[in-house]
Amino acid sequence: MGSVERWLGLRSELEGLGVELLVVTKNCTVDAIGQLFKMGQLDFGESRVRELCEKAAQLDSTVKWHFIGHLQTNKCAKLLQIPNLHMIQSVDSMELFNKLSQLTTKLNRQINVLIQVNTTLKPTQYGIDYRNITLIISLVRSVMRSERVKFRGLMTIGDGTKDSFHRLNGVKKRLEEEFGELGEFVMSMGMSSDYKLAIQMGSNHIRIGTLIFNS
């Protein structure tokens, strides 16, 4: 079974669930991405700035690119030069938000963002500690006030158990208590190994690469 067949199977599985599929393109060829794009897949995710820039330059301008890796402030300018960069899913500090705010004003553009939350407490995991709700609320409030950096939801990398997804749901609940109804809210949680569990726990946006390209 090839990547197209696996993608079609996953799309069929997700039908009617209200879950958006983000295809992760790490170590994936431009041809393979283009093939899925022609089949109707619009949203693709990349975790490295250089690779995203190279792939975006070779593919259709209507592809919606999501940056999903750890983002250093010195790479923001290069990333924001991609005209069809749709979202940055890994905003995890006030410093990074301030840099994005400064650059989007300079470049006269907008960018959608998710706040990355560390729900596993692993030291190798990026994101704001889910227990530091004061910082999360402060960052969300700052983004909400921005005219160009648009807050769209939360992202986490799970550990294969319900615990991490339950914790992200807890963060969302605290945000609702603080800010009221959040409207269309992205809960980006779940990857190739745990997406089914994530959907059961309320995910509406899954990030899948290995399951499609490397099975």
| Tens-place pLDDT, residues 65-98 | 999 999 999 999 999 999 999 999 999 999 999 9
Q: What is the average per-residue pLDDT within 168-182?
A: 97
Nearest-angstrom CA–CA distance, 158 and 161: 7
Tell me which long-range contacts 60-67 makes (C-beta under 8 A, separation of at least 24). Answer: 60/34, 63/33, 63/37, 66/22
Domain boundaries, the chain: 3-8+20-213
pLDDT higher than threshold 90 for residue 144: yes
What does the longest C-alpha to C-alpha distance in the chain come to?
47
Confirm if 68 and 24 have CB atoms less than 8 A apart: yes
Nearest-angstrom CA–CA distance, 125 and 138: 21
| 3-state SS class at 90 | strand
| 3-state SS class at 135 | helix
| 3-state SS class at 21 | strand
Of the pLDDT bands very low, low, confident and very high (cuts 50, 70, 90), residue 123 is confident
Of the pLDDT bands very low, low, confident and very high (cuts 50, 70, 90), residue 22 is very high
Nearest-angstrom CA–CA distance, 137 and 115: 10
pLDDT higher than threshold 60 for residue 105: yes
Of the pLDDT bands very low, low, confident and very high (cuts 50, 70, 90), residue 215 is low
pLDDT of residue 27: 87
Which two three-digit tokens encode residue 154?
């939360």
Percent of the chain exceeding pLDDT 90 equals 94
Cβ neighbours of residue 200 closer than 8 Å, sequence gap 6 or more: none
Q: What is the average per-residue pLDDT within 27-33?
A: 94
From 150, 151, 168, select the one nearest 159 (Cα to Cα): 168
Q: Which CATH class is domain 3-8+20-213?
A: alpha beta
Integer CA distances (angstroms), 25 to 118, 150, 214, in order = 23, 24, 11
Report the helix count and the strand count for the chain, using DSSP H and E.
9, 9
User: Whole-angstrom distance between the N-terminal and C-terminal Cα of the chain?
Assistant: 9
Nearest-angstrom CA–CA distance, 117 and 172: 11
Of the pLDDT bands very low, low, confident and very high (cuts 50, 70, 90), residue 121 is confident
